[in-house]
Amino acid sequence: MAGASREHVTIVANLAYLLVGQFKGRPCMAFTNDMRLKVTETGLYTYPGVAALCSEPEFEDSEQDTLTNPSLIIEVLSDSTERYDRGDKFAHYRRLTSLQDYVLVSQHRPLVEHFTRHGEEWILRMAEGLEASLPLPAMGCELPLTDIYDKVSFGRDDFMTDAK
Instruction: Give residue 164's pLDDT.
Output: 42
One-letter amino acid for residue 80 of the chain: S
> Which pTM does this prediction carry?
0.92
Do residues 34 and 1 touch, judged by C-beta distance below 8 A?
Answer: no
Measured CA to CA, the distance from residue 115 to residue 138 in angstroms comes to: 12
Ranges of residues in the chain with a pLDDT under 70 are 1-3, 156-164
Instruction: Give residue 161's pLDDT.
Output: 46
DSSP, residue by residue, 23-85 = HTTSS-EEEETTSEEEETTTTEEE--SEEEESS---BSSTT--EE---SEEEEE--TTTHHHH
Q: Could you state, in order of their start, the residue ranges of all structural domains in the chain?
A: 6-129+148-159
∠ at Cα 154 (122, 103), nearest 5°? 15
Instruction: Give residue 159's pLDDT.
Output: 46
Measured CA to CA, the distance from residue 41 to residue 47 in angstroms comes to: 17
Which residues, 6+ apart, have CB-to-CB distance to 67 below 8 Å? 31, 35, 36, 37, 38, 51, 53, 57, 58, 59
Instruction: Give residue 65's pLDDT.
Output: 96
Q: For 22-57, what is each residue's pLDDT tens digit?
A: 999 999 999 999 999 999 999 999 999 999 999 999
Instruction: Give residue 4's pLDDT.
Output: 83
Give the CATH number of domain 6-129+148-159; options: 2.60.40.420, 3.40.630.30, 3.40.640.10, 3.90.1570.10: 3.90.1570.10
Bridge partners, 127 (sequence order): 112
Instruction: Give residue 156's pLDDT.
Output: 56
Measured CA to CA, the distance from residue 73 to residue 31 in angstroms comes to: 10
